[in-house]
């Protein structure tokens, strides 16, 4: 009985920690004002970064799907396409963050040490890179084990990809190039950001996660669950920054 109570307390504590993290880090889902300097080029950078990370997330989801070994033949296609998306997503992200265009912007005075808009771009890129690196360390599913955690990882990746697309929809509307359509784009983006965070919260602190913890799969005792929490913590940082996306000045 004592051991059961210890597990229950640990599960409730972990769930509470994630709920608090989501609550404390969340802000009203709207573009926030920033110092002068956040312009159209900044939004274009952020949209491309988000697209690159989204490609990478989807690529890893295809690899995990194939690893479940449920569709012989199709699984090979899933892996090959997933690997291609991962490579192209990473290459695109690297080009945006360290390519010629970024260097030209720095040389033109948009230094992250001086320009708040560029500082945000680098902070977003830094948090996205942590997620990308963690995805590269995704544990392989052992025979008969890990199916549940792979499903969790796929859903976490989907939640973040939904938030990335929502932020891009919001930024597109913020550019003010299509009156009427812009309002739809902004509202749809806000909806996607809100629902992405709700999905993330459900995965990390909902009934299914609590049941897994109660069954003995805790971050302290299970390597796959430890990885799941590490991935979620990194993704939460990106979600929070997307909610804080500055508006065009």
- Tell me: the pLDDT tens digits for 3-32? 444 444 454 444 544 444 444 444 433 443
Element (H, E) at 15: helix 2-25
Lowest mean pLDDT among 3-12, 197-206, 239-248: 3-12
Average pLDDT, the chain: 85
Q: Residue 3: in which H helix or E strand, if any?
A: helix 2-25
Residues of the chain with pLDDT > 90, as a percent, come to 63
Instruction: Find all residues with CB under 8 Å of 83, minimum gap 6, and list them.
Output: 59, 63
Assess contact for 192 and 171: CB atoms under 8 A.
Answer: no
Predicted structure pTM score: 0.83
Here the tokens at position 167 are 């932020």
pLDDT at 42: 87
89-122 pLDDT, tens digit per residue, is 999 999 999 999 999 988 888 888 888 889 999 9
Query: In the numeric block, which tokens belong to residue 40?
Result: 């159209």
**Per-residue H/E/C for 46-100:** HHHHHHHHHHHHHHHHHHHHHHCCCCCCHHHHHHHHHHHHHHHHHHHHHHHHHCH
Residue in 112, 52, 107, 134 with CA at minimum distance from that of residue 85 = 52
| Region 79-93 average pLDDT | 97
Question: What confidence score (pLDDT) does residue 111 get?
Answer: 85
Max mean pLDDT among 33-47, 195-209, 235-249 falls in 195-209
Cβ within 8 Å of residue 141, ≥6 positions away: 64, 67, 68, 147, 149, 150
Identify the pLDDT of residue 10.
Answer: 53
- How many other CB atoms are there within 10 angstroms of residue 61's CB atom? 22
Going from N- to C-terminal start, the domains of the chain cover: 38-243
Q: What is the mean pLDDT of residues 56-73?
A: 93
- Averaged over 155-173, what is the pLDDT? 97
């Amino acid at each position: 009985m004592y051991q059961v109570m210890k597990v229950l307390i640990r599960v409730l504590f972990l769930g509470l920690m994630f709920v608090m993290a989501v609550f404390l880090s969340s802000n009203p889902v709207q573009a926030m004002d920033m110092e002068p300097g956040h312009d159209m080029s900044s939004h274009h950078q952020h949209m491309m970064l988000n697209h690159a990370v989204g490609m990478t997330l989807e690529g890893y989801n295809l690899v995990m799907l194939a690893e479940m070994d449920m569709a012989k033949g199709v699984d090979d296609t899933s892996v090959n396409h997933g690997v291609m998306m991962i490579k192209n997503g990473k290459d695109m992200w690297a080009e945006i963050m360290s390519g010629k265009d970024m260097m030209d912007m720095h040389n033109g005075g948009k230094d992250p040490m001086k320009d708040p808009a560029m500082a945000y771009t680098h902070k977003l890129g830094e948090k996205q890179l942590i997620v990308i690196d963690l995805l590269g360390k995704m544990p392989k599913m052992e025979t008969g084990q890990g199916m549940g955690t792979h499903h969790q990882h796929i859903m976490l990746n989907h939640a973040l990809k939904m938030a990335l697309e929502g932020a891009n929809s919001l930024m597109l509307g913020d550019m003010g190039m299509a009156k009427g359509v812009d309002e739809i784009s902004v509202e749809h983006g806000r909806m996607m950001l809100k629902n992405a965070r709700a999905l993330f919260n459900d995965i990390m602190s909902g009934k299914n996660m609590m049941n897994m913890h109660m069954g003995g799969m805790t971050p302290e005792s299970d390597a796959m669950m430890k990885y799941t929490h590490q991935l979620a913590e990194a993704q939460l940082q990106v979600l929070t920054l997307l909610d804080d996306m500055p508006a065009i000045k």
